[in-house]
Amino acid sequence: VKSLIIVKIIQMFVINVAHFLYRAEDPAALGVARFFYGLIMLIDIFEERGLHLLEQRYGDPDLCIFPLFNDMPVFPLEYLYAMYLVMILCSIGIMLGFMFKLSCFGFTVIYWYFFFLNKTTWNNHSYLYGLLSILWLFSNANFYWSVDSLIWPSIYNKQVPRLNYFIIKFQLFILYFYAGIKKLDADWTSGYSMAGLGKSWVFDPFHFFFSDETVDYLFVHIGGLVFDLSVGFLFLYDKTRPLGYFLAYFFHGMNAIIFNIGMFSYMCMAMIPIFSAPNWPKKIIGKTPWFIRLLLPTCSSAQENVECTNTKTTHHTETLKNITSFKNEKDCDWSFTMNKAFKCIFFTFYVAIQLFLPFSHSITKGYNSWTDGLYGYSWDMMVHSWNTQHVVVKVIDDVTGEKQYLRPGAFTSSKSRIFSHPDMIKQYATCLSKRLTEVPDLNITSPKIYFDVWTSLNKRYQQRRLDPRVDLVKAPWSPTKDTPWLMPLLVELSPWRARLEELKKVSSEKNYSDVVFVADFPGLSLENFIAEDIEANITVLSGLVVIEANGKNVTLAANETLSLPENDTHIVYTISKTPSCYMYISHNKTWVNMTDDDFINSDEELKKSKLAKEEWKSKTIFEKLLWFLNKKYRLYKQDVYQIYFAMKMIIDMGTTVDDKVLKNDEL
């Protein structure tokens, strides 16, 4: 009896949830959101999706790539261009609501293929675009303002289940709220994550009352934290929604100006009106003059959808009686069919995954570095600021013992981020080992590869990320286990950051041009070269070090300083039982008596840069707009030509894409 009661309670819960999710809603807001998603993704394909970088990334088969799965196939370049063409057509199809389901399916499959193919481009907003493509695939967003609704009148302006709105609202709520939870990190609340943004001109109105540092802390860090934690809740209620919209558009507008984050800000601004009443577009259209209304979608009431529940047609008691039978919808006004059950189960699973994945670092341990969580999946936007000062790639032939040094990022299209995550580091070392054995001139048969990467996280000391003594070709790595050759973040030195800022300020007042703070582990050493005309010294802040320079060894303890020889290499050994901390202070002797103008005129590149900035400032807004449009026209034109020649090659099976590459100056 108890079992039957439990089963009945579960049944009642499921049917009530389904009844809520299938409540009839107007399709207008969904159709408008779909249109702008397709439009923004169409632009994004030419921008951040990297159509113009396709040949650079995948045109050379000898380059190392970084897919999620090592065995992922990489198609020939001409077919990759063809896939981008399909993605362009599908984004247009989504925008216009033409062959909507097919367009969503084609776009989603190709988008996620390229997303998984290149981990170096992963970020939270690219992940969001992919998630939205999946949600559109299972939606009824073509019931309004679509070509499909003109072809098939049965779906024209037809009611849609509330589930369509609920799942997109949920995803946007998670975007903001989880971003706020991640900002509860001590580095963010202390103001170290995005230091320096307060100097931006967008905060000029606040500069009359606050210093740059205060603006940085109060408005960027604390304001960003409060915004992310609260704005999702403001969206949910009619009385607070206008305030939420004002804050959100103000926030994303500033982000679009300050950061180079592609179409993300515009995507958010296009999606958040979905929190309004579903018929909000019709209310606006209904107030326009009749001659304008002829060019806009209908503002009439939505036609009834028998798959939805509403007070006029649903007999809830009858539905409850038929819950276990899954009757055909013709048998009653509304029934819980297998199709509805599948959608409810799918979206329940989707919600559970989205709630769990940003905190899955206890399972995906191999992807953790100094920060926990899958990069690009965790909604930890702007929380971590990285500064990589020094990267050394050392190769030793295990047979001959010969040592060589490679340029960091060799055999890659870009070294961006590959030294930041253990999974990509392992992939790079494995690929590099294979490529080196394939170059006859190097005469390397069994390479051992070592990386020495120095990075600062959120204004801490520069410190090693990896153990430089580990051969990364043979080093173990597992997605579910901690990476043993990853050096720990020296969090015990975090309180030093305030003093480091003071020391840097004092050094700048003394006309020093550069200050670098370094922390190293016991038993390890740093080899560094001081260039000619550079006057440098090293000061130990804590710990004990031995400095080998000019054929001599000098021991330095805390607060002791040593001048370093120029045009020479020195080695700093950490001999204390605790990590050593020291700072380099240096300046170029030839710059000391130079004015700013003298310094700029001494360097042709700086001189050109200064002239270019002055020329840009002298342009009118209209001239700047024309320059921007011309730049985009040339870029898009080049992309279209590349696609054209790729398709021509596929059809003709003649020349290669590489033979037809057009440079900007040829267009």
The pLDDT assigned to 666 comes to 40
**Mean pLDDT of all residues in 443-464:** 91
> Which of 80-94, 139-153, 207-221, 492-506 has the lowest average pLDDT?
492-506
pLDDT reported for residue 145 = 93
What would the pLDDT profile of 535-589 be if each residue is shown by its tens digit?
889 999 999 999 998 889 999 999 999 999 988 999 999 999 999 999 998 887 7
Q: Which helix (H) or strand (E) holds 516?
A: strand 514-520
Q: Which of 27-36, 55-64, 166-175, 202-211 has the lowest mean pLDDT?
A: 202-211
Predicted confidence (pLDDT) per residue in 263-289, tens digit: 999 999 999 999 999 999 999 999 999
Indicate if the pLDDT at residue 332 is higher than 90: no
Over range 297-301, report the average pLDDT: 90
Per-residue confidence (pLDDT) for residue 136, from 0 to 100: 96
Let me know if 183 is a catalytic residue.
yes
Q: What is the pLDDT averaged over residues 356-374? A: 87
- Give the pLDDT band of residue 501 (cuts 50, 70, 90): confident
Q: At a CB cut-off of 8 Å and minimum separation 6, what does 607 contact?
A: 600, 601
662: pLDDT strictly greater than 50: no
Q: What is the DSSP string of 85-153?
A: HHHHHHHHHHHHTSSHHHHHHHHHHHHHHHHHH-GGG--HHHHHHHHHHHHHHTS-GGGSSSHHHHH-G
Catalytic residue among 158, 169, 182, 183: 183
Check whether 38 has a pLDDT greater than 80: yes
Segment among 280-294, 592-606, 609-623 with least mean pLDDT = 592-606
Between 627 and 322, the more confident residue is 627
**525 pLDDT above the threshold of 90:** yes
Q: Which domains does the chain have, with CATH numbers?
A: 28-160 (no CATH), 163-279 (no CATH), 385-489 (no CATH), 497-593 (2.60.120.10), 594-666 (no CATH)
For residue 439, what pLDDT band results from cuts at 50, 70 and 90?
Answer: confident
DSSP sequence for 433-463: HHHHHT-GGG--SSEEEEEEEEEEETT--BE
Q: How confident is the model at residue 593 (pLDDT cuts 50, 70, 90)?
A: low
Position 324 scores a pLDDT of: 41
pLDDT band at 591 (very low <50, low <70, confident <90, very high): low
Report the chain's mean pLDDT, rounded to a whole number: 86
Instruction: Please report which helix (H) or strand (E) contains residue 605, including its range.
Output: helix 604-618
Please check whether residue 32 is in contact with residue 145, taking contact to mean a CB–CB distance below 8 angstroms. Answer: yes
pLDDT at 465 over 70: yes
162 near 23, Cβ under 8 Å? Answer: yes
Question: 471: Cβ–Cβ under 8 A, 6 or more apart, which residues?
Answer: 448, 449, 450
Tokens of 412: 């890659």
Q: What is the pLDDT of residue 44?
A: 93
> What number is the average pLDDT over the span 511-520?
81
